Structure 1
Amino acid sequence: MLEKNMGGAAGAQNVSSTIQEIVAGHEKNELFAKLRGSEPYAAEVNALIDCVNEELEYQRFRLRTVNEAVKSGMWYMKINPDFSIAYAIWSDEFRRMVGFRGESDFPNTIESWSSRLHPDDVEGTFSSFTACIKDLSGHTPYDVDYRLKVHDGSYRWFHASGNVVRDKSGHPEEIIGVFVDIDADKKNKEELEVNAQRKEKFYGELETMLSSLYESIDAITTSVSQTTERTVEIANVQEEITQAADDTRSQTENTLKMSELVMTISKQTNLLALNASIEAARAGEAGRGFSVVAEEVGKLADSSRDAASKILEALGSMEKASTHIAERIKSINGLIENQAANMKEISASVEEAKAMSDNIEELSKKL
């Protein structure tokens, strides 16, 4: 129908040529304005332009819908022959994602975007972009994460990637890309990394604490073992002291008996001496009874000497027993002091183990 109204094949060819010019023209809006109202096919051309505009509007609607669905913005940059940026275009969704409403708030300039890059991300972002567009083979991608200052002044993480349109020689002409908000994912990842580092640190500290705890437990076990051995030793020494005390008591009893014997001998000696005195007084010169008395006194003297020896021997045994008891008492005192020191070490080790256990529990709560 369109070919018929336009005068056959020649008219169709003219319209087709005009359409190609419209589609291929750089200044499309100006061409549309020139074509509108032109003769001789004004109505047809105007209708065609309306159709094209409707299609363009529909495609814009589809693009907005897709952007909203995937939560991403679109961006475009025209590249000069010297690899500089001629101009940039930011989609409405791009602007919305960084907190702006329209082009008046966020103009279509490279500075609108570059001036908001985080200082730590500027070099890496531009290096990646330059490497991408200057690689005439097209093998270097543009795929970066960076922080951008949004409208409220805070920084958010975004991911940007782009495809380069090149001429036959590989020289870049333009780049079209997507822009995705990854702030939540990035911060979650950072939090996971922090938690992982915290866990790694915890496990390192835990290993050190457990090692110290095991050493403390070993020290406690050794101290308890030594204390047990000393306790047994003290018990043995106490048994020896008890036996020595019994021996001393027995020696004392023997000494008392010897003392009684000596006393008896002493009394008898005194009595014999008295009798000898009396007998001497009676006998006068004769003194025959003195021999008997002398013999008895000699026997008593021998008995006294034997008793005295036994007493000295008993006293020597008592002295040795007393010395042994004193030595064992000193030994017990030393053992008791060592045991007290061991108990202090055990108490300190237990306190240290408890402190490490508390630290481990506290670290566990922080995970």
Structure 2
Amino acid sequence: MRRLLGFNNETDFPDIMTSWSDRLHPDDAEPTISHYIAHLADHSGRTPFDFSYRLKTNDGSYRWFRGTCGTLRGPNGEPLRSYGSVVDIHAQKVAEEAQALASQAQAKTVAQLATALKQLANQNLTFRLNEEFPEDYELLRLDFNSAIGNLEEVVSAVNSTAASIYSGILTMSAASDNLASRTGQQAASLEETAATLSEITSTIKKSADGAAHARQVVSNADKDARNSATIVNQAVGTMQNIASSAQTINQIIVVMDEIAFQTNLLALNAGVEAARAGDAGRGFAVVASEVRALAQRSAEAAKEIKGILSTSTTQVELGVKLVAETGTSLERISVQVAEVNGIMSEIAIGPKAQATSMNEINSAVTQMDQTTQQNANMVQESTESYHNLSKEVDLLSNLISRFKIGLDVASRNPENTREQSDSLMFRSPPKSLPGSRPLAPRQLSARAVV
């Protein structure tokens, strides 16, 4: 033992009990001596002495030793002499102490981590490992604090982003609802417009058909007027020929009247000569009288015919004049009918062009109506998508509402500064809304997950 403690002679380390007991570590002195006394006090010898303790070396430091001893006893078990050995176990003991310290540090670290993980399991993102870990585990503490801090910021950012998304959903959903309503009204108006245009197109088509028919009628009237003018001209020519024939007949009647006058004179001369002849000329006188009577009747008949011809000639002249006037009127009518025919042609072209334009407009309005109907269906689908998205964001709110974040983190997001408390907890919005409408804007805050 003397050499193990760094002493070279008995002067420095006498072979006495106190040389050993005086060098025990203050923490080891009482338990070591008590253990040794218990060994000596057991007269049966069944209590061994096998104990580890620290002794002060020559340089003043303490080293670990393992001491074992036995005791020679008398007949009554009284101790006579002790003997034993001392083994230097300093290196082993230091290693055991280091291992114990490491185990204690590890256990403490695991306990603190367990506490931190339990807080994390309870969705508390404000918890931090503020007490320093042993050097070997300090990086683990820093990494955990960094990770939970980043997670807290992410959750807060998700909340802020969700609030912004929800605000956008509110706007888009309201706009989509308004657009759906306006699109529905527009579709109904376009449908009514299309029906009205269809009726107008039908009416214009009928007008075009009527105008075309009127044009045809006027065209036929124009042809009839031209034919009537030709016939009237022919009638005028015929009446003129009749007038000319009447003049010829009148001249013939004049000749006949002169012949009757000459015959009457001859009959009168013949009667005079027959009277001169006496009885011999009596028969001739009778003949002459008859001839004279015939001549007078011929003259009267010629006179009557002349009067009738004179009346007829006057009437024919009047008829010629009237027919001429009729021809002039028919020519004017023909000209006017031609003008009406031209106007009706232009009128017929107008409704036809209008009918064509209205057909194109009707087709365009029909396409607009179909497009509007499609837009209405798409807007309805968009509205349903917005409502479904609102439900998904509502589900997201239920998930995020379990996490607890700190006031300082929540205050970094403008969306989260409207409702704050000592410990900001995400709060879910209502599960359902009347008419599947989105949440009201006042519910968007640091405590409200959209």
TM range (shorter): 0.3 to 0.5
Structure with max Cα Rg: 2
Q: Structure 1-normalised TM-score?
A: 0.46
Pick the structure with more strand per residue.
Answer: 1
Report the TM-score when normalising by structure 2. 0.39
> Comparing both chains, which one has the higher relative contact order based on Cα–Cα distances under 8 Å and sequence gaps of 6 or more?
2
